[in-house]
Homo-oligomer: A and B are copies of this chain.
Amino acid sequence: MSEPPGRSEHILVVDDDARIRQMLIRYFEDEGYRVTAVADGQAMRECLDKAAVDIILLDLVLPGGEDGLGLTREIRSRSDIPIIMLTGRDDVVDRIVGLEVGADDYIAKPFHLREVLARLRTVLRRRQPAIASVSGADSETFHFDGWRLDLARRQLVTAEGEEIILTTGEFDMLAVLAKHPGRVFSRDVLMDLTHGRTLEAFDRTIDAQIARLRKKVERDPKRPSLIKSVRGIGYVFTGKPDSPRL
């Protein structure tokens, strides 16, 4: 609750909407933070070059051909500064991609200022490992049965070196499962993690997506070896993790 006495945290806001910048500046300065607000990626770089920044609030969509995802990747390539992404309400895909690219959290617009404050404090407090494993430059690549699943490039390559083209939804599903081999995911959890919404009764969305995914990645979709069903529960990734880097 109390401020760190020595110095206050420095927040960098990147958003092209002047009203939002103004609103965030006012609110967080009232809360005792130092705030710098800029409108685009170039100004962001300049700020990062000359001032110490503790956390970045980054709008996902920016004018001038740069978007938050690219900027996040850029920042992550050389720094661990916590990043909270501001996204549209329903950009579930972007959120997941954002996390994979190295953002620490996101907040959907429109947001309540109190919520932003809460998330910001959480991220600052949490900082350390958490997503840390994700933030490693290209370390987010999974190897199993000779296959390679590259989260950054969003591509899947077989043991024979052939790339398998997956749709966005298929890739997200596979990514969630492959990240936790041996873990049984319920359909609820899968729906939440891949779609950001809750499962309705008699909802076969997950099943259909799994079937389509199996048709692409399983040698014999009738006898899956990578993704197995667990009756009454959900699905589990049963690929055998290789020792990475071979």
Residue ranges of A at the interface with B (Cβ–Cβ < 8 Å): 65, 67, 69-70, 73, 90, 92-93, 95-97, 99-101, 104-106, 108, 119, 122, 125-126, 128-131, 133-134, 136, 140, 151-155, 163, 165, 167-169, 179-184, 186, 189, 192-193, 196, 198, 223, 225, 228-233, 236, 238-241, 243
Residues of B within 8 A of A223 (CB): 163, 165
Residues of B within 8 A of A125 (CB): 65, 67
A13 to B97, CA, bound (A): 24
A196, B92: Cβ atoms under 8 Å?
A: yes
The smallest beta-carbon distance between A181 and chain B, in angstroms, is 6
> A59 to chain B: closest CB distance in Å?
14
Instruction: Provide the bound-state CA to CA distance between A241 and B135, in Å.
Output: 9
Contact of A184 among B126, B169, B181 (CB under 8 A): B126
Nearest-neighbour CB distance to chain B for A77, whole angstroms, equals 12
Contact indicator A122/B67 (Cβ below 8 Å): yes
By a CB distance below 8 angstroms, the chain B residues around A70 are 126
- Within the complex, which residue of B96, B105, B154 is in contact with A99, where a contact is CB–CB below 8 Å? B96
Q: Is the interface of A mostly helix, strand, loop or mixed?
A: mixed
Tell me, in angstroms, the Cα distance from A199 to B173 when the chains sit together.
29
Chain B hits for A96, CB < 8 A: 99, 193
Contact across chains for A100 and B130 when beta carbons are under 8 A apart: yes
Contact B233 A122 (CB under 8 A): yes
Q: How far is the CB of A175 from chain B (nearest CB, A)?
A: 11
Residues of B within 8 A of A152 (CB): 181-182, 238, 240
Tell me which of B104, B136, B182, B232 contacts A129 (CB under 8 A): B182
Inter-chain contact B228/A183, CB cutoff 8 Å: no
Bound Cα distance from A224 to B108, whole angstroms? 31
* Chain B residues with CB under 8 A of A167: 231
Which B residues touch A232, using CB under 8 A?
168
